[in-house]
Amino acid sequence: MGKHPYIVWHKSFITKADRQDKNNHKSCVLWFTGLSGSGKSSLANALDKKLHSLGIQSYVLDGDNIRHGLNKGLGFSKEDRKENIRRIGEVSKLFVDSGTIVSTAFISPFREDRCSVRELFPEGEFIEIYVRCPLEICEGRDPKGLYKKARSGEIKDFTGISSPYEEPVNPELIIETNSKSLTKSVDIIVDYLQSNKII
Ligand SMILES: Nc1ncnc2c1ncn2[C@@H]1O[C@H](COP(=O)(O)OS(=O)(=O)O)[C@@H](OP(=O)(O)O)[C@H]1O
Ligand SMILES: Nc1ncnc2c1ncn2[C@@H]1O[C@H](COP(=O)(O)OP(=O)(O)O)[C@@H](O)[C@H]1O
């Protein structure tokens, strides 16, 4: 779908830089990607709590929740996942524009889709965090009982079982949730934000 010929971009008076100045920190998207059960939601929410306690404007967009509303109706075919990620990329951009540090917790299994989101942002504002955890551990955790259903064939196209997960090639951070505690993982991300002068 191309751009509409009669729709013109309306510039706002207040810029992203103005909003960042007001907040006293920069804004960015922390793009958590990984298998179901790898720890994306747990990590994004624990980080959000920590950032909030530091007085930072932050927010979490979570796959399960977004699929109840904005992306209700999208399934798990390659095309639907692509559209899911495209929309979240655009929503994340709005959050970053508003001066917020937004954490997104979506499997986002396809490299090409994640790269397209990265291209929406200037250098340094898209931080890809690979939440790495072996499939057998994720399957052992099975917090929602979905792997069991995927193995029995009740759920089709399940990531890691009957649909691919393409690992990030050059993520800004890799967090191994099999060997690192949640607290330690949060500290690593906060350190990254501090050393890159985002907070
Ligand atoms: N077929 C299939 N494959 C993978 N996941 C499935 C599927 N069906 C339902 N679920 C549940 O939906 C959550 C993943 O949604 P996402 O929006 O993150 O997926 S994607 O990025 O579009 O691939 C995922 O949540 P997480 O476990 O938090 O990752 C599952 O709870
Ligand atoms: N170090 C860890 N980091 C994150 N989650 C962990 C860790 N160790 C165990 N877990 C558990 O793994 C599960 C991960 O589930 P969840 O956060 O919903 O993952 P995802 O959003 O990737 O599907 C949770 O039950 C969580 O308590």
Confidence band, pLDDT 50/70/90 cuts, at residue 9: confident
Q: Is 12 assigned a ligand-binding role in the annotation?
A: no
Residue with tokens 């904005």: 70
pLDDT score recorded for residue 3: 74
pLDDT score recorded for residue 86: 98
* Ligand 1 neighbourhood includes 87 CB (under 6 angstroms): no
Ligand nearest to the CA of 163: 1
Q: Return d(Cα 3, Cα 56) in angstroms, integer.
A: 35
- For residue 58, the surrounding DSSP H or E stretch is strand 58-62
Confidence band, pLDDT 50/70/90 cuts, at residue 1: low
Mean pLDDT of 2-24: 91
Ligand nearest to the CA of 68: 1
Residue 2 has pLDDT above 70, yes or no: no
Mean pLDDT of 104-110: 98
- Which of 31, 139, 141, 159 gets mutated to test ligand 2 (max ligand atoms within 8 A of its CB)? 141
Q: Is 162 assigned a ligand-binding role in the annotation?
A: no
Q: Identify whether the C-beta of residue 30 lies closer than 8 Å to the C-beta of residue 101.
A: yes
Q: What is the distance, to the nearest Å, from the Cα of residue 182 to the centroid of all Cα atoms in its chain?
A: 17
Mean pLDDT of 43-61: 98
Q: Identify whether the C-beta of residue 37 lies closer than 8 Å to the C-beta of residue 139.
A: yes
The CA 179 to ligand 1 mean position distance, Å, reads 23
Nearest to 51 by CA among 59, 42, 40, 63: 59
The CA 32 to ligand 2 mean position distance, Å, reads 12
Q: Tens digit of pLDDT for each residue in 55-89?
A: 999 999 998 899 999 999 999 999 999 999 999 99
- Check: complex ipTM more than 0.95: yes
* Contacts of range 74-79, beta carbons closer than 8 Å, 24 or more positions apart: 76/156, 76/157, 76/158, 76/159, 76/163, 77/157, 78/110
pLDDT score recorded for residue 177: 97
Count the residues in the chain. 199
Active site residues: 108
Residue 50 has pLDDT above 90, yes or no: yes
Residues near ligand 2 (Cβ within 6 A): 34, 36-43, 105, 141, 143, 177, 180-182, 185
